[in-house]
Amino acid sequence: MNAHEMFVKQVDEAVPFLTVEDEYIEILKNPKEVLEVSIPLRLDDGGVKVVRGWRSHHNNALGPYKGGVRYHPNVSREEVIALSSWMTVKCATAQLPYGGGKGGISVNIRDLSPSEIERLSRGYAMAIARFTGTDIDIPAPDVYTNPQVMAWFVDTYEKINGRSEPSCYTGKPVEAGGSLGRGDATSRGGTYILREALKKHGLEGKELTVAVQGFGNVGGYGHKLISEELGLKVVAVSDSRGGTYNPGGLDHSSVKKHKTETGSIAGFSGGEDITNEELLELNVDIVVPAALEGVITESNASDMRACIVLELANGPTTPQADAILNDKNIEVIPDVLANSGGVTVSCFEWIQGRTGDYWTEKDVQKKLDEKLTTAFHEIWKIKEDFKISTRKAAYVRAISRIVAAMRFKGIWP
């Protein structure tokens, strides 16, 4: 099952609990439009490499398309469509005035120099410029893109259009129009959601252990905030090259220092090396996938021993694995809720850029907490009313909201 087939199955599984006409479900199973671009990239040695990229507009019933841009060798048209579809559901989950979009370039940035990455980023922003804009489609960071890349995107877009338009992209550096609190927003939002879930499960204040897969923006801050804000013990972390495990706990700043110095988590002296596969099956209370999709599958789900899976990555659990985890009474807090803090603070950044009224970090965190805590409890109520999984409940709530807007707007022309 590819990522888009996973999304379609997740929608189908929510349908029995919805009162929705079939035609709207059919519309939601397809992206509205997908732009495919070829970017000629001038290499430092004078040669040219043609790189392929995409931007998918899935649905804009609730507002302009919103979603990140991914740089990864496995990016494909189908993956970008799936990620944009999840964004539609996620923005509705967090009650944001947005639809779903996503972009990506099929490239291994480890093969490129910083100046090649800048030229590629500017080439992509230019190629998709007619597809984006503050009221059209607002891209943001995702895997292997960061605030610096957003700054190049905005600068390119503004130069093409000859005007200042800071809210055409979010996730920018604070110095270039970004919002305070955007850097750790995805993980912070996930921490708030986990806090509420622990209360529901009667686990608040207990000594719990955590394994985090991925040590980029989301996994790195995830390790830090889950330890600092919730007082839980993170015993395993990993990146694309492998992981480290210490049942006594891993100090975030020491792991980060090792990663900065050596480029990987593996080989950390404060733990024993483990593989990404082993990390998911550790005897811990909480597993946090925070890297790529499709890592929890029917072949490893039955070996998982955690009682909570907090999906900070997009699409980490296949529907087959989801069913196995549900049967084992493992609580899966779905991506569309668990990692919605990033797009929520992106929305705050968009508002600040449009009004010129910039908020304090404390204000950003307070508003984020209020929004996600409300979303969590509304979803939990649906879960309890229908006796369904948290993922199904989140889809029921999001699809109801999207379809309500689509009904008013009508199917036209």
Residues that bind ligand NAD (CB under 6 A): 141-144, 186, 213-219, 238-240, 276, 290-292, 312-314, 339, 342
Residue pair 321/6 in contact (Cβ under 8 Å)? The answer is no
| Nearer to ligand NAD (CB atom), residue 145 or residue 388 | 145
Q: How far is the CB of 177 from ligand NAD (least distance, A)?
A: 17
Q: How far is the CB of 228 from ligand NAD (least distance, A)?
A: 18
- Nearest distance in Å: CB 190, ligand NAD: 9
**Minimum Å distance from CB 412 to ligand NAD?**
32
Q: Annotated catalytic residue: which of 66, 102, 383, 392?
A: 102
Q: Are 65 and 96 in contact (CB under 8 A)?
A: no
Of 24 and 348, CB closest to ligand NAD? 348
The beta-strand segments (E) located in 233-361 are 233-239, 242-245, 272-274, 286-289, 308-310, 331-333
SS3 content of the chain, % helix, strand, coil (to 5): 50, 20, 35
What tokens appear for 364 in the block? 């950003």
Burial of 170 (0-12, 13-18, 19+ CB in 10 A): buried
Quick one: 209 or 276, whose CB is closer to ligand NAD? 276
Q: Is the peptide bond prior to 413 cis by the omega test (within 30 degrees of 0)?
A: yes
102 tagged catalytic:
yes
Decide if 335 contacts 86 (C-beta within 8 A). yes
Phi, psi of 8 (to 5 degrees): -60, -40
- Give whichever of 144 and 152 is closer to ligand NAD, judged by the CB atom: 144
CB of 124 to ligand NAD, least distance (A): 16
* Closer residue to ligand NAD, CB minimum distance, 239 or 331: 239
Q: Which residue is nearest to ligand NAD (CB)?
A: 216
Q: DSSP of 27-63, one letter per residue?
A: HHTS-SEEEEEEEEEE-TTS-EEEEEEEEEEEE-SSS
Which positions are catalytic?
Answer: 102
